[in-house]
Amino acid sequence: MQIRVEDLSMIYNPGLPYETRALDHISVDIKPGEFVAIIGHTGSGKTTLVQQIAGLLEPTSGRVVAVAEDGTETVISEKGKASFAVRRKVGIVFQYPEYQLFEETVLKDVCFGPKNQGLSEEEQIERAKTALKLVGMDADEIGGESPFELSGGQKRRVAIAGVLAMDPEVLILDEPTAGLDPKGHDDILRMIDRIQDDRNITIILVSHNMDDVAEYADTVLVMNKGSLFMQGDPRYVYCERGRELKSVGLDLPAGPGFLEDLQDLGLDVDIEKLTFDETAEEIIRVVKKKWQ
């Protein structure tokens, strides 16, 4: 399923003294199976955009459409309408998703989504067990426990499983690692990457962490003050147009950032490197050259 965002705008409190333009004529295509990262400052419209892609928020103008493989189009959201049916093909994990847990047991909570989809009880449990396994948890071990007694990282996994259990074709994650320790952070990201490989679903990740984006994303959307500031693969965004990115106050990943600093010091450095390995090689090359 392809997601097409067409000229989407969103204005909060129109006509009031505190009117804010959260989205300003955004158009973008998200291909099936793509790993898309959305970066930008707080208040740049990232969350508003993903909520409209999920069909949870009505836009002021423009629309979001889901295009199936056979070419049929279904409107997810447009003015006056936010769609229910497609909502189940697009799963969204909110910031701090552990605050949505409410059931007596972990298994029941993960079953909530499939139950609302109208599945039979066996299917619900089947789905829940698979989803818990995907997030690296054992349903037999913790399925019967209260979700409120788990640790923070575990709660978050259960909450993500609750969305995965609905078997979405597009999975949106709004800063899924906020407030986790470095290990929990890495675990969640690796898990997302693995889920994408296993299921071949589209991932839309809202993130502040440029290193994660550089490592995992196929496409990066850069939001600035409600507009789509830049769009392209990580190499294009971080290497070719890194300085523009910095001009709107966003950081570069550690590698390109360091190489740019070296260049600013007057060294002859090729800054078009993205990963840690490439960066390391470039540093070695520069140091060797200096020595000779």
Residues engaged in binding other proteins (CB under 8 A) = 17, 51, 54, 56-57, 84, 87-88, 91-92, 94, 97, 99-102, 112-113, 115-117, 148, 162-163, 166
CB of 112 to other proteins, least distance (A): 6
Of 130 and 275, nearer to other proteins (C-beta) is 130
Of 153 and 168, nearer to other proteins (C-beta) is 168
CB of 216 to other proteins, least distance (A): 23
**Bridge partners (DSSP) listed for residue 205:** 37, 173
Question: Alpha-carbon distance 66 to 146, whole Å?
Answer: 37
SS3 track for 88-115 = HCEEEECCCHHHHCCCCCHHHHHHHHHH
Of 158 and 239, nearer to other proteins (C-beta) is 158
Contact 174, 156 (CB under 8 A): no
Of 56 and 283, nearer to other proteins (C-beta) is 56
CB of 155 to other proteins, least distance (A): 11
Number of CB atoms found within 10 A of residue 141's CB: 10
Burial of residue 115 (number of CB atoms within 10 Å: 0-12, 13-18, 19+): middle
CB of 243 to other proteins, least distance (A): 36
Of 130 and 231, nearer to other proteins (C-beta) is 130
CB of 113 to other proteins, least distance (A): 4
Question: Alpha-carbon distance 200 to 153, whole Å?
Answer: 25
